[in-house]
Amino acid sequence: MIGYLIRRILQTIVVLFFVTVFTLFLVHLFPGGPIKAMLGQRATPQQVAYYNHLYGFDQPFYVQYIKWIGQLLHGNLGFSNKLNMSVGALIAQDLPKTIILVVLGTVVSLAFGIPLGLYQAVKRYTVGDYVLTGVSFLGYATPTFFVGLLLVEWFSVDIHLLPPFAPQGTSVGQILSQPKALILPVLSYAFVLYALWSRYMRSSVMDNLVQDYVRTARAKGASERRVLWGHVFRNSLMSIITLLGLSLPTLVAGAIFIEVVFNYPGMGLAFYNAALNVDYEVLLGFTVIATLATILGNLLADVSYAVLDPRVRYS
């Protein structure tokens, strides 16, 4: 187990290296360099040169990289001149709100996806299965933001039941105090994820149902109920855990679109505004944080999988 863990962590460090180099490289892609992007098109060459020197962009790439990594390790993610606040503070302000959206959406989608996927596998090739398969195909083919638009059209414009905007406010408490406004963002976020979980659960349960251990369980007289819940369900749930870790990028991506559709004041909306304003410090800092979260998510998923399934760590 320790050996597996060490190998896995070493791999992660290599991946982290590539990712950080690429992210810093992104900054240099801005037309005229990052300083030109920051100061605007009318900046004089003297000003650009001055700030290039001030920010260290006139140094070789590897020096910049080492300095930047040093700053990152000290928790300094940069400073947004456009918002006049540090990127760290911006994340501290917006991340909790995004987490609310992501966690609520994921929980809702799992609450539907797991039981319905299980139902589909048990009752496969029945009308119910086909209908639910149709729904998940719809989920795959529908862009997240369009789900949001449709829900707004139906529930806000047509029947005036729910507000078309997400809850507004700077703190988590303010967001949670407007549960009615949270319904549509969470639902549209959950729909696309539901497709993912239910599809996966269905195939996972179907795979497990034909395994030898199921035959053994049946042979020794376990009831169908016990086979399903005691054996198949638990084993299928395990792969969902891995999938959860691996889908972090999907979760982040979904959040951006939902936050833009509903004007939800989270990290996704902040990132989007930073993109429109070419606020490269925010773009860079957010990308690094999201990447870190993804890599840690993958690592956690792998490790938890190894803990749950002894075959993984010995292979």
Partner 1 sequence: MAMIPPPGAESGQQLGRSATVVEPTSAPDGAGPLTAAKPRSMLRRGWEVFAENKLALASVGMIVFIVLFCYIGPLIYKTNQVNTNLNDTLCPPSGAHLLGCDNLGYDQVGRLMLGGQTSLEVGFAAAIVAVLFGTLYGAFSGFVGGIVDSFLMRIVDAGLSLPSIMVIIILSVVFHPNTIIMVFIIAVFYWLGVARLVRGETLTLRTREYVQAVKIIGGRTSRSIVRHIIPNAIGTIIVQATFAVADSIIILAGLGFLGLGVQPPATDWGDMLSGGLTYLQSAQNYWWLIYPPGFAIILTCIAFNFIGDALRDAFETRLQRR
| Chain residues that interact with partner 1, rule: CB under 8 A | 11, 14-19, 22-23, 26, 29-31, 137-138, 140-146, 149-150, 152-153, 157-158, 164-165, 249, 252-253, 256-257, 260-261, 271-272, 275-276, 278, 283, 286-287, 290-291, 294-295, 298
Residue 261 CB, nearest approach to partner 1 (Å): 7
**Residue number, 149 or 237, with CB nearest to partner 1:** 149
Residue 143 CB, nearest approach to partner 1 (Å): 5
**Residue number, 199 or 231, with CB nearest to partner 1:** 199
**Residue number, 117 or 235, with CB nearest to partner 1:** 117
Residue 228 CB, nearest approach to partner 1 (Å): 26
**Residue number, 154 or 213, with CB nearest to partner 1:** 154
Residue 34 CB, nearest approach to partner 1 (Å): 10
CB 99 within 8 A of CB 172: no
Residue 140 CB, nearest approach to partner 1 (Å): 6
**Residue number, 103 or 141, with CB nearest to partner 1:** 141
